Amino acid sequence: MDSIQEKLVKRSKSTNRDLMGKGISLSALVLIVLIVLSIFVFVTSRGLATFFHDGISVKDFLFGTTWNPSVTNPKTDHPYIGALPMILGSFLVTFLSALLATPFAIGTALFMTEIAKKRGAKIMQPVIELLVGIPSVVYGFIGLTIVVPVIRHIFGGSGFGILAGTIVLFVMILPTITSMTVDTLKSVPGHYRESALAIGATRWQMIYKVILRAATPGILTAIVFGMARAFGEALAVQMVIGNAALMPHNLISASSTLTSVLTMGIGNTVMGSLQNDVLWTLALILLIMSLVFNLIVRAIGRKGEMK
């Protein structure tokens, strides 16, 4: 009798395990939230120091076109801290590489899911997974030894610039967009295809009018993810873009991105100085942009659910 009572009143072994599991996952969650929050607070506080501590106006920072933080502008008595060249550079390489990669990604994904399923799964899937896994410094190195000299040979100049950055990023984000598009296309229900074929559509009509339509939100999400990767990429871009904080006036002149200026400058500045603060402000812009990319993905997911 007692043993039954004990069994009913006391916690069983599995309940304890259950609680322990709950505790572990909760503490993991709390830890991650804490890390994310502290990164946010740190970058924000250092990044805003430019405006509050060093007294630089947000407008000058975002829309100024001259970047040379170690030189003081005699007219305004502030250093040259116009970040527009880098902001433009970042957006240009991001949009251009996404523009270039999207058609190739959709084409490859269609081939893998609709046209040659078996070969696609056998050959293309491992290739794409391999491409995702290559470290960015390798892409940058290939860009430096092949892409830059080729551009120099064809167009003259030094070869460094937005075009070289775009080409390297194109190769880097292609597998990201492709593999996500493949997943989306696979999730289009089979009866969509069967219905389309049953009413006499050709394969091309089925792909173009039914499958791509149904998969549009997913493909858009894939593109945004690719853009987020391109926007945040630092090393490979820094190696081929030329790192001149000048307004980009063509695709083959040396330019810079937010990330390339950050990686070039952070080791040469002293914490707490204005030259260092402005770099943190660039980091803050990067952080905000990745937040924006996330929000876009969510908005697409909410609006475009397959019905």
Instruction: Indicate the residue type of 212.
Output: L
Compute the least distance from the CB of residue 256 to other proteins, in Å: 8
Element (H, E) at 51: helix 13-52
Compute the least distance from the CB of residue 83 to other proteins, in Å: 13
For residue 224, what are the CA distances in angstroms to 21, 56, 215, 231, 295? 35, 32, 14, 10, 10
- Asked if residue 170 binds other proteins (CB under 8 A), the reply is no
- Asked if residue 15 binds other proteins (CB under 8 A), the reply is no
User: How far is Cα 72 from Cα 76, in angstroms, rounded to an integer?
Assistant: 8
Compute the least distance from the CB of residue 231 to other proteins, in Å: 21
For residue 243, what are the CA distances in angstroms to 81, 86, 145, 278, 305? 16, 9, 17, 17, 41
| Subset of residues 49 to 68 that bind other proteins, contact rule: CB under 8 A | 66-68
- Asked if residue 266 binds other proteins (CB under 8 A), the reply is yes
Taking CB under 8 A as the criterion, the residue among 164, 244, 252, 262 binding other proteins is 244
Taking CB under 8 A as the criterion, the residue among 84, 197, 246, 306 binding other proteins is 246
Question: Per-residue contact track with other proteins, 276 to 295, x per CB under 8 A?
Answer: x-------------------
Q: Report how far Cα 29 is from the mean position of its chain's Cα atoms.
A: 24
Compute the least distance from the CB of residue 263 to other proteins, in Å: 8
Taking CB under 8 A as the criterion, the residue among 23, 55, 135, 149 binding other proteins is 149
**Candidate segments 4-12, 18-26, 49-57, 236-244, binder of other proteins by CB under 8 A:** 236-244
Confirm if 226 and 235 have CB atoms less than 8 A apart: no
Taking CB under 8 A as the criterion, the residue among 199, 267, 302, 305 binding other proteins is 267
| Subset of residues 182 to 211 that bind other proteins, contact rule: CB under 8 A | none
Backbone angles phi, psi at 157, to 5 degrees: 70, -160
Taking CB under 8 A as the criterion, the residue among 78, 158, 287, 297 binding other proteins is 158
User: How far is Cα 149 from Cα 119, in angstroms, rounded to an integer?
Assistant: 35
Compute the least distance from the CB of residue 87 to other proteins, in Å: 15
**Candidate segments 30-38, 112-120, 203-211, 242-250, binder of other proteins by CB under 8 A:** 242-250
- Asked if residue 245 binds other proteins (CB under 8 A), the reply is yes
Taking CB under 8 A as the criterion, the residue among 30, 272, 290, 291 binding other proteins is 272
* Residues that contact other proteins, how many (by CB under 8 A): 32
Residue 199 or residue 271: which is nearer to other proteins going by CB? Answer: 271
With the C-alpha atoms ordered 283, 176, 256, 240, is the resulting torsion angle positive or negative?
positive
Residue 216 or residue 275: which is nearer to other proteins going by CB? Answer: 275
For residue 127, what are the CA distances in angstroms to 101, 117, 226, 276? 16, 15, 18, 41
- Asked if residue 265 binds other proteins (CB under 8 A), the reply is yes
The helix/strand count (H/E) of the chain reads as 15, 2
Crossing angle of the two packed helices 258-265 and 274-303, in degrees rounded to 10: 150
Terminal Cα distance for the chain, rounded: 58
* Interacting residue ranges for other proteins, rule: CB under 8 A: 66-71, 149, 152, 157-160, 242-246, 254, 256, 264-276
